[in-house]
Amino acid sequence: MPISRRNLLKLAATSAAGSALLAAGCRPERARGGPPNLIFFLSDDQRHDTLGCTGDRLVRTPAIDALAAQGTLFRNAFVTTSICASSRASLLTGVSETRHHYTFNTPPLARRFADASYPALLKRAGYRTACIGKFGVQLQDEAQNGFLDFYDPRDLPIEKAGTDGQRHHNDEINTDHALAFLRDVDPAQPFLLALNFSAAHAQDDDRARQYHPTTWAKDLYADVHFPPPKLGADYFESQPEFLKHSLNRERWGWRWDTPEKYQRNLRDYYRMVSGLDHQVGLVMAELRRLGLLDNSVIVYASDNGCYLGDRGFADKWTHYEESLRVPLIVADQRAPTPGARVVDALALNLDVPATLLDLAGIAAPAQYQGRSLLPLMRGAAPADWRHDFLCQHTMNGAAIPKWIGVRDERYVYARYFEQQPVFEFLHDLHSDPTEFRNLAGDAGHAGVLATLRARCDALKAEWS
């Protein structure tokens, strides 16, 4: 898949300038201690526990595990809305859906949010900015063309025909273009590279094969027999009828409803995760080869979680942990003695933009609802750090029930407000970490339920 002519010309011009400098023996270098390069890896539909560093003993993710070993792993990282359009808008703008109002089937993201997005502010501060792969957000006036020096979007289908007549995986194309970008950067200018993978999203319209790994990963896990979901048929039978007949259940039938399909699709899902880990490794190796790594900060995250047959569901959207919780790692390669740190404080997708700006020495706009994670990375949690957050899914979509709720360090509350009557969930994560029991109707938890109802309404008003 060729780079667009406009972007190819940009790369060619930069390459020519860089070659001239090298020929003259004056390759520019940035002053030590200057703004760091920022590399943001974003996976798609990856649940929090599908990395070696987050506890999965089957998956092979050495490159991402190495980032966790060199940096900070946020063990309790969440998205505020578990769907790619809304979550990616939050990752771009630092505000939640209650404020940016963007998801599928809505007007484009308003210009005032795009203009205050972290790439826009980085560009104004002198960064060269690139976004490669799935962008996933429609902006008013196509504003990204004004703040991205290199905009190379690529979404489903996950395999595309190349100029060589062969089909190529999106992530292989994305990584090739990212490596080309890195080879043409000016070492004297800081850069942002946002590399957005297609893995591990399903190819929904391919019912015969839902998950498509890269060529490199296609033979992995051939000898692995995956254990069944911890929460299976018994859990599904406990669900209300509107979830039993939701799109979560319909897509479960596409992927997970027989032992054979479960093994085949989970094997391919793991291959996709290992494939994107391989792509991360290629980028890290190139940063090191080019002498760019020592002044770089690496962020790894996912846009939302994903059900892998758990609870009798597929995909995301609902209030359960598998849907809302995501991997999040920040590895500052400038640290004199890099080392692993695990943080248990609640971190959100909203925090990523503020963190990237803070790393570059730029103050986050007042409208941002997220906060910089740097104090947590340095072992100094602010006294006023959050203990809960608002979460929701309010997209107009067939068979995806709308809800709003609040998750704190012990409880999860969710209100499916379009049901008649309104249906509520309350889970105690201390006594029931699998969220198996719904305590909303339990008289002994009436006080907790009332408190969380009120807190949900207060957060909605505050965040709007």
Could you write out the DSSP letters of every residue in 63-131?
HHHHHHHHSEEETTEE-SS-SHHHHHHHHHHS--HHHH--STTSPPBPHHHHHTSHHHHHHHTT-EEEE
Distance of alpha carbon 424 from alpha carbon 449, whole angstroms? 9
Q: What are the φ and ψ backbone dihedral angles of 60, each rounded to 5 degrees?
A: -115, 100
Distance of alpha carbon 69 from alpha carbon 60, whole angstroms? 15
Structure tokens belonging to residue 195: 């590399």
Helix (H, G, I), strand (E, B) or coil at 429: coil
Which amino acid appears at position 165 of this protein?
Answer: G
| Domain 35-386 = CATH 3.40.50.300 | no
Please give the pLDDT value at position 461: 97
Question: For the chain, what are the domain ranges?
Answer: 35-386, 402-464
Mean pLDDT by 10 residues, the chain (464 residues): 37 37 40 85 97 97 97 98 98 97 97 98 98 97 97 92 83 96 96 98 94 96 95 91 97 97 98 98 98 97 97 97 98 82 97 98 97 95 96 94 98 98 98 96 98 98 94
Structure tokens belonging to residue 435: 């969220």
Please give the pLDDT value at position 30: 53
Residue whose pair of structure tokens reads 């940035």 in the numeric block: 30
Distance of alpha carbon 456 from alpha carbon 397, whole angstroms? 23
Please give the pLDDT value at position 335: 78
Whether pTM exceeds 0.85 = yes
Helix (H, G, I), strand (E, B) or coil at 4: coil
Please give the pLDDT value at position 337: 67
Burial 410-446 (b: 16+ CB within 10 A, else e): ebbbbbbeebeeebbbbbbeeeeeebeebbbeeeebe
Please give the pLDDT value at position 167: 87
